[in-house]
Amino acid sequence: MFQKILIANRGEIAVRILRACRELGIRSVAVFSDVDRKSLHVRLADEAYAIGPAPSRESYLRIEKIIDVAHRAGCDAIHPGYGFLAENAAFPSACVDGGLIFIGPPAEAMESLGSKTAGRQLARRADVPTVPGTNDPIENLAEAQALAHRMGYPVLLKAVAGGGGKGMRLVTSDAEFEPAFRDAASEAMNAFGDDRLYLEKYLDRPHHVEIQIFADAHGRVVSLGERECSVQRRHQKVIEEAPSPIVTPDLRKKMGDAAVRLARAGRYVNAGTVEFLVDANLNFYFLEVNTRLQVEHPVTEQVTGLDLVKLQIAIAAGHRLPFAWESITPRGHAMEVRLYAEDPDNNFFPSPGKILSRHVPSGPGIRLDDGVYEGWTVPNEYDPLLSKLIAWGNSREETIARLRRALEEYTISGIKTNAGLFRRILTEPEFLRGEIHTKWLDELLRRPIPATSLSDHTEPVNSASDAAAIAAAIWQATQVDKLSRRSSPPGGQPSRWKQEGRREQLDRLP
């Protein structure tokens, strides 16, 4: 097993990985940009090294800087997390050249499956159904528009090196095509350092269902079941669950077979996700392969009992998968919501700033994968994901009830979050029935907004009555402090019984 691992990422996923390292007795090394100097992953790691200014292209996307830190720190291996360099085939190649182990698939598998266009070509050769679209990157705008004409609108422009909804645009007419092409290419370049795009036919109201796969270097490839990822805002997943409410045992077997077949064809090793679109008739179509650990991996962990990060590390160290596909039987139901620093009441505008206070939920079936802490300042330079709140229950109904309760317990001040949006979603009849699709949330958000806010529990002072209430609270706290000091023995602490009695007296004051 490895002695020391560098984590080439930030935020909650860096914290998740270093905790797995600690449980395995492996020392962890964090890297950070200038604005991340006080981040949670830096505070928790065994060692931490600065790698440059805030822009990711000058820090987290600089392969040579990360490799240099790994050498200076004496690391055996590098874990890329998700995002940034996680799906850049040049990164595992650089690790190999530098005598380091990359905890993920080899560069060749990443090129054949991680590239969206190459993955589609391989899927067709492996007899996996695909969504109609281009097999190669689009050369120019005119070519792309001509292809869209032949396919018929609506179409999707998608980044070849993309993921997480970055570099993706839905186009419904000729008039929209040129600005959508320009914006998608620009976003793809900023997110992945690659502005190439491809074109895909847009399917109307499908479910987005993905299969978690694992493969070792000894020829064993397994499916760990599916995740339902249809609740999305502008192609970005916000809620994931396992198992899917629409997937039958027969469909699960067929999709798992297709995913394993594709992984074998691409000589895949380590963790990966094969994504599919499923139509109303339960026909499934290959969408893409994410050659990395997914943001939503905790829901699979909850229903299988496996630690996917530890499994990644073990496979990278040369170990065999310790189980066969047939032995994996999902238990219960799990659901995850992504808590972002954003304001749903203001078109989901980012909400950076200092976290003044926070109360996090706990209790039966609740897990929080965290990347922040009280007093930390959320930067404006990166994806605003704060934490992932995961609930598990014996049934989908119990899971939703637990998640709803946990969201009611979650409070934060200083920034806005989307917690209120999830409280709304978890009461929607269509969601409760599992009648969702990839455009369902966008359609829901166009409906009249309920009287309650979609953001978190903390609201700004906006009325005279609010100000009066706060003034009264301040006065009451002052009186408590005066009474406490008056009742304190010289040089000692006041009696707790006396303090609580004084508070009760003050509570009864008008």
Residues assigned a catalytic role:
292
Do 148 and 177 meet the contact criterion of CB atoms below 8 Å apart?
A: yes
154 cis-preceded (ω within 30 degrees of 0): yes
370-372-375-378 Cα dihedral, nearest 10 degrees: -150
Write out the DSSP string of 253-299.
HHHHHHHHHHHHHTT--EEEEEEEEE-TTS-EEEEEEE-S--TTHHH
Secondary structure class of 221 (helix, strand, coil): strand
Residue 205: CB partners within 8 Å, gap ≥ 6?
280, 437, 438, 439, 440
Q: How many other C-beta atoms are found inside a 10 Å radius of the C-beta of residue 219?
A: 11
Q: How many other C-beta atoms are found inside a 10 Å radius of the C-beta of residue 489?
A: 8
β strands within 279-431, DSSP E: 284-290, 333-340, 342-343, 349-350, 353-354, 357-359, 366-370, 377-378, 385-393, 411-413
460 cis-preceded (ω within 30 degrees of 0): no
Nearest to 418 by CA among 337, 340, 355, 350: 340
Q: What is the DSSP letter of 229?
A: E
Nearest to 205 by CA among 430, 440, 431: 440
Residue 138: both structure tokens together: 């689009």
Q: Are strands 47-52 and 27-33 parallel, antiparallel or unpaired?
A: parallel
Q: What is the DSSP letter of 438?
A: T
Coarse DSSP helix, strand, coil percentages of the chain, rounded to the nearest 5 percent: 40, 25, 40
CA dist 33 and 53 (Å) reads: 5
CA dist 340 and 209 (Å) reads: 23
Residue 422 host element (H or E): helix 419-425
